[in-house]
Structure 1
Amino acid sequence: MAGLSPNDYIRAAGGRRNSASGTRVAMSPPSGPGVMAWTSYDMDSPVLRDFLREGPESVTGVGVSEKMALRNSTFFRAVNLIAASMGMLPAHLMRRKPDGTIEKAKDRKLYRVLLKRPNSYQTAFEFKSYMQTLALLDGNAYGLILRDPRREVLQIIPLPRKVITPKLSDDWKLTFEYRRPKGGTVTLQQEEVFHFRHPMTRDGLIGVNLVDIALNAIGIASQAERAAGKLLSGGVMAGGALESDETLGEEAIARLKQSMADQNMGVENAGAWLVLEEGLKAKPFIASAKDSQFDELRRRQAEEISRITGVPRPLLMFDETSWGSGIEALGLFFVTYCLMPWFVAWEQAIERSCLTIAEQDADELYVKFNEGALLRGSLKDQAEFFAKALGQAPYRTPNEVRGAFDMNPISGGENLPPSPSAPANAKKEPKDE
């Protein structure tokens, strides 16, 4: 199919024979006006209510849509952090050599697709970030795989959202039903579709999406934000009241207002106290238990989103404690308990979709994310690490250390440095008296 556009490729897929079974793949209907099926609902139908609502209903009675979820700052921060982190990490196609050593499989076109150019309009960062975002929001991300006559991968083109349905036949053969935007469906074979999904799934085919899992947390947080908005727009924001046992005249009230405006308003007078007259008593307002519970509710929902996404609290920017020297441990926690499952999901999804069955069985090619880019630490930590790697029992070559800092190799630096000789501790023989 080399030379065909993605749309031509999909159209051609509709009339291709299945080489495994000898049967023809399901044809899409001809272009042009088709027959439309209408379904009627009663006005009180729950199906109609869900259709007209922005999204599924939360416990607050408010529909939660994807747009509402992304407007939640905690949820947006978590999704953006995971997607950007996965997008920035390089993915390499590696090869195990017969002698047990490994190397980058630069002779394969898939190597360039993963590292530099997945398709004609996206960089590797944009492609991985976008597909990761879809896996978080939809639970699944799909891409059309274009191959050359030798079955090597040329491009992976993201397919439109929510138009792909995985189908598992009675004989356990996986296909994908693609609903074209202009009408009709095309059945794509497993080797033609890159399917990346959330590690958690209810049926083994379709991943769960975070908007659905965080439905109630986002709904409650949205209502709390709405209540805060109403308080700021129409609520009374007075800090206290002035009381008096006597009746104040208009002149005294006017003089008091002017005194407050001249001496007690503005940021420069914040926290200043009034000099009262006419028997006035100051009665400051304090936050009520209801206000404290309201603030606690908003914090609780942020913590719920942190649990659902797996992103540590400090990285979501709502922890009040100082990170201090624990920043490296925090990064390790994020990589180990949040990103590591996604590394494995990416690596195995690429191998399953992009490598042929023979290549998978040969166990020669594999995909590896370089998560070490997120764990480099400070220059001081790196210096100590590499000093030990080159020290008493060396396990890194000088060129490997230089490569970690993007420095050119040196002559003779491909060999491990010699171990330092042990200090002489031999005892002298006692002399005969």
Structure 2
Amino acid sequence: MALSPTDYIRAAGGRRSYAPRVQAGPKLSGPIVAYDGYDLSDPRLLEAMRGDGGRVGVAGIGVSDRLAMRNSTFFRALSLISGSMGMLPTHLMRLKADGTREKARDHPLFNVLHRKANDYQTASQFKSHMQTCALLDGNAYALKVKSRGAVRQLIPLPRRSVKPVLSDTFDLSFQYQPAKGRARILSKDDVFHFRAPISLDGLTGVSLLDIAADTLGLSHRALQAAGRIYDKGTMVRGALETDQELGEEAYGRLRDSLRENFTGIDAEEDFLILEEGLKAKVLSGTAKDNSLVEMRKLEAEEISRFTGAPRPLLMFDETSWGSGIQQLGLFFVTYCLLQWFVIWEEAIWFCLLTPVEQETMYAKFNDGALLRGSLKEQAEFLKAALGPNTGFFTPNEAREYMDKNPIAGGDDLPRQGTTAAAVQKENEDDDAK
């Protein structure tokens, strides 16, 4: 069965190698309750007492995780950033003595970052989850499960259960409050921590929910107002007025005619034939209704600014993709994701590698999946990369870029003034001799 982070912590016993402890199954005796119970030290209890996360902005409404993610623009930005960080491959790289670089496939951490983070999460799921925590809370924490001095698993710690503590002698540790029981102090060697780029104390990152609470609250209020219009507001297109008094027969005939002949899509743009001196009066939207629409658009733009996601990627209907899709992807990677690449890579280097390994090893995100463009653009790129005069790709590197198997004699760069085919023919002639 899957073990909680507390089990790994208890099993550690101060040792550097963690051995999971098996818990006994729950007893079935006793009454069954239909409510959640909280220990007095449980951080979720304080969260529940505050109500909606405790982030009350100018709109007078508490902004919780669920309320924020009900906002379509915020949810799209959150899923876009977290999904992109999760899907991009992360490789552990090694700098060799001759100055060349290689993927450190023989290191246990390589598989943790690239394939399987723990017993219940793939690397993609782990990175997406941690990225979501860092966006919502400003911080993400994971317990390092080690064996023989190397990290074998990364177990995400529950949100809002960890607090960094810096002593008077500037020694860093982490206070972990489990769902049940007393708080525990974890060494910095036991915790993987990365945070949002903005920090006010140098230890913890600024929560996106905190800084965007006013915008999210106003957006929710505007949505509630729109809902009240559809629920209780007047939805008629217009009114019929006359100076004369309509009889029961004329009133009934007019009502039936409107319902039978001038409703639904078939009656679009038809003209009413009025009688008894009736005049049609069209009702237009009020200034209040019009300002509500503008406010909803403004709040969507504000959320785009807070998250850094480009407007077209947030599905704004007044923007178009057109021929600038490659530039749009470049904008997203450069001005939104690039800072997160650096934060992830530095956190992996700082928290997951030993001082000796830090001399020659580092993590690298492969952002090429977001920047490849169309097949035509890739073909032009590879043509330039394999050029005889300025080429910087070997044939096998180009094949690896396209997920193809290497070929014999494809590990040399083309010689100046010759083509790759000519070089290969020369090699074949040399082998024949």
Shorter-chain-normalised TM-score: which range? 0.7 to 0.9
Q: 1:48 to 1:214 in 2, by over 3 A?
A: closer
| Contact 2:143-2:157 within 8 A present in 1 as well | yes
- Correspondence 1:344 to 2:345: no
Partner of 2:399: 402
* 2:90 is equivalent to residue 91 of structure 1: yes
Secondary structure in structure 2 of the residue aligned to 1:204: coil
Q: How far off its partner does 1:385 sit?
A: 1.0
Identity of aligned residues (%): 55
Q: Of 382, 387, 400, which residue of structure 2 is paired with 1:386?
A: 382
Report the AA paired with residue 377 of structure 1: G
Q: 1:297-340 CA deviation, whole Å, 9 max, x = no partner?
A: 00000111000000011111124132200111111101000000
CA distance in 2, matches of 1:84, 1:343: 13
CA distance in 2, matches of 1:49, 1:87: 30
Give the aligned partner of residue 418 of structure 1. 415
Q: Deviations over 1:376-405 (max 9, x none)?
A: 101111011111111242111111111111
Report the secondary structure of 1:419's partner residue. coil
Match of 1:28 in 2: none
Structure 1: runs of 5 or more not aligned:
19-34, 38-46, 423-433
Residues 52 and 80 from structure 1, CA distance in 2 versus in 1: closer, same or farther, beyond 3 angstroms? closer
What RMSD in Å do the two structures reach over aligned CA positions? 2.2
The one-letter amino acid paired with 2:85 is: M
* Structure 1 residue 12 displacement after superposition: 4.7
SS of 1:324 mapped into structure 2: coil
Q: What displacement does 1:9 show? A: 3.4
Closer, same or farther: CA 5–319 of 1 in aligned 2, 3 Å:
closer
| Displacement after TM superposition at 1:246 (Å) | 1.4
TM-score by length of structure 1 reads 0.86
Higher alpha-carbon deviation: 277-286 or 298-307: 277-286
In the alignment, which residue of structure 2 is the partner of 1:177? Answer: 175
Aligned positions of 1:44-55 closer than 5 A: 51-52=50-51, 55=54
| In structure 2, distance between residues paired with 1:135 and 1:6 | 19
Indicate the residue corresponding to 1:115 in structure 2.
Answer: 114
Q: Kindly tell me: are residues 58 and 324 of structure 1, through their superposed partners in 2, closer, same or farther at Cα, counting changes over 3 Å?
A: same
1:236 corresponds in structure 2 to: 234
Q: Determine the C-alpha separation between the residues in 1 that align with 2:167 and 2:243.
A: 86
Give the 5 Å matches for 1:31-180: 51-52=50-51, 55-149=54-148, 151-180=149-178
Distance of 2:47 and 2:395 partners within structure 1: 67
Aligned counterpart for 1:309 among listed residues 295, 307, 310? 307
Shift of 1:48: 12
Distance 1:227 1:389, change over 3 A: same
**Cα distance, 1:17–1:62 mapped onto 2, change above 3 Å:** same
Name the TM-score, length of structure 2 as normaliser. Answer: 0.86
1:228-277 deviation per Cα after TM superposition (whole angstroms, max 9, x unaligned) = 00100111101111121211111111111111122111112223221222
Q: State the match for 1:216 in structure 2.
A: 214
1:348 Cα deviation (Å)?
0.6
Other-structure match for 1:372: 368
Taking a change above 3 Å as real, the CA distance of residues 65 and 413 of structure 1, as seen in their structure-2 partners, is same
For residues 254 and 36 of structure 1, the distance between their equivalents in structure 2, rounded to whole angstroms, comes to 68
The answer to whether the 8 Å contact 1:93/1:104 transfers is yes
Q: Compute the displacement of 1:288 (Å).
A: 2.5
Equivalent in the alignment of 1:267: 265
Query: Would the aligned equivalents of 1:50 and 1:56 in 2 still touch at CA under 8 Å?
Result: no
- Distance in 1 (CA, whole Å) between partners of 2:313 and 2:248 is 56
The Cα of 1:359 is off from its aligned counterpart by 2.1
Report the CA distance between 1:279 and its aligned residue.
1.5
Structure 2: which 5+ residue stretches go unaligned? 17-38, 420-433
CA, structure 1 residues 5+100, in 2 after alignment: closer, same or farther (shift >3 Å)? same
Q: CA deviation at 1:278?
A: 1.7
Aligned partners of 2:6 and 2:178 also within 8 Å: no
